[in-house]
Amino acid sequence: MDKYRKILQEVRGKQQKKDQEKQARDIAETMCLSIDESPHMIAMEDGAAAVAAMYTLCVDDGLDTVMEYLELREHLDGLLGDMYDKMREIYSVPAQGEGGKSTPRIGADMGQEDCP
């Protein structure tokens, strides 16, 4: 929560909307690097804080942070995929796959039907 607040403070600290959007872009770029280069738990924390901040800045502050949100989300999706693949190296997970990558079947082993 501290990283989320810090991002909001840094962006909101700028007076002009243009400067705020530039600050958000710069922060998103830095956070994408953190997601890609940091240990998994730090990357998850940074990524979640940055995605939440970009959402708040867009919805509450009226800043155009859509592209930053999408870029951060893409990096987080990659991180989650890497984490899942690492888990699969250790333990077999029931999955349906395409092209060597698998998609977890959440709920399938609990008697729930697969979602379309």
Q: What is the pLDDT of residue 64?
A: 96
Three-state DSSP at 82 gives helix
- Per-residue pLDDT tens over the stretch 50-100: 999 999 999 999 999 999 999 999 999 999 999 999 999 998 866 555 555
Listed by start position, the domains of the chain span 2-93
Give yes or no for residue 115 having a pLDDT over 70. Answer: no
- Per-residue pLDDT tens over the stretch 9-41: 999 999 999 999 999 999 999 999 999 999 999
Look at phi and psi of residue 10 and say left if phi exceeds 0, alpha if psi is from -120 to 50, else beta: alpha
Please give the model's pTM, rounded to 2 decimal places: 0.76
d(CA 41, CA 10): 23
